Chains A and B, each alone.
Chain A
Amino acid sequence: MDQNNSLPPYAQGLASPQGAMTPGIPIFSPMMPYGTGLTPQPIQNTSSLSILEEQQRQQQQQQQQQQQQQQQQQQQQQQQQQQQAIATAAAVVQQSASQQPTQGASGQTPQLFHSQTLTTAPLPGNTPLYPSPMTPMTPITPATPASESSGIVPQLQNIVSTVNLGCKLDLKTIALRARNAEYNPKRFAAVIMRIREPRTTALIFSSGKMVCTGAKSEEQSRLAARKYARVVQKLGFPAKFLDFKIQNMVGSCDVKFPIRLEGLVLTHQQFSSYEPELFPGLIYRMIKPRIVLLIFVSGKVVLTGAKVRAEIYEAFENIYPILKGFRKTT
């Protein structure tokens, strides 16, 4: 990427009559062929050329460059940029022309700056066609309007995690000496302990295993579990902190419009179960990701069953367009 910042190529770009080659301005001229990517290319004058001419010219220039000493370096950069360009080209082709200026301004510009040729045709034999991991732009997606993302972020309400303290525990000792502990072996064979910060509850079993519930984030759950482990440790047990794992995450949000649950259960019957006489919410079991959603007439949605936060977000982004389709209009 070093060649991208070299100054002389910029001047050439500026001098081009077909325009919009100004570096730093993240828009591109409508006359630019969309096959070459969204940004002005500093060396060559690429605007107003057809893609084919552009590719031919680039290939010629590329052959010339292959004779230079920096051949390998360039090829690596070209491959990366080419992959970016391919991705961008495909993305641009699928987007409407009016969106291009905004897309250009959205930050894709800097990564496509390159001072050497860019060809959209693959080099024979040695170019992977998939974007390199450093490709920052959106991958090739089906044409979707910009309003597709819901703009609503589910809030985490509860995290359940488990950890192994690695030693046998005497629950009666813990219950009698710890500060906020309940132990009723006739009812439940574990000590129920609570701490104020983060406000959580733990079930501590005589095997040394512990369940921690009530935290609002992954980090809080881990911190709380460590606090419980420290309490047990201070009571004289050789407690460790083994295999901490988040088992379940619960999130909730509000789509802000009423929903026709009857319609939803009719069209998505293989995923939904709705028995208003049993429970007022529709139970939607999403396959991918494997999340269960409770959907209510009011528009409130509860998502549960996640092992990671991203599953909650992904499940909500999946369900939101479906819910929009069942918005109550009366």
Chain B
Amino acid sequence: MEYQLYRNTTLGNSLQESLDELIQGSLNTDRFCDNVWTFVLNDVEFREVTELIKVDKVKIVACDGKNTGSNTTE
């Protein structure tokens, strides 16, 4: 389903802001280009059952999981 059209509606903007707040204000940047999301977070805690890792900067690069049939990026 393609819902990106609704990103710039009032609802989409509110959801985007909620996303930012959900990351507890540590979201530095977010980018979406060529179907690839890139996030840069600051002061992040990765918590697993036994371990706790704290980092100053995390870069998350995320591609679409489903095969949408779009052409591959260069």
Contact = CB atoms under 8 A, between A and B. Distances in A.
The size bracket of the interface on B is 10 to 19
Contacts of B4: 182, 184, 187-188
Contacts of B10: 158
A199 B14 CA distance: 11
The size bracket of the interface on A is 20 to 34
A175 B30 contact: no
A183 B32 contact: yes
B24 to A, nearest CB: 15
B17 interface: yes
B31 interface: yes
Interface in B16-62: 16-17, 28-33, 35
Nearest to B4: A187
Nearest to A177: B31
A180 B31 contact: yes
Nearest to A211: B8
A182 B7 contact: yes
Contacts of A158: 10
Q: Which 3 interchain pairs have the tightest Cβ spacing?
A: A182-B32, A179-B29, A187-B4
Interface of A: 158, 172, 175-176, 178-184, 186-188, 192, 194, 199, 201, 203, 213-214
7 contacts: A176-B33, A180-B29, A182-B30, A184-B32, A186-B70, A192-B7, A201-B8
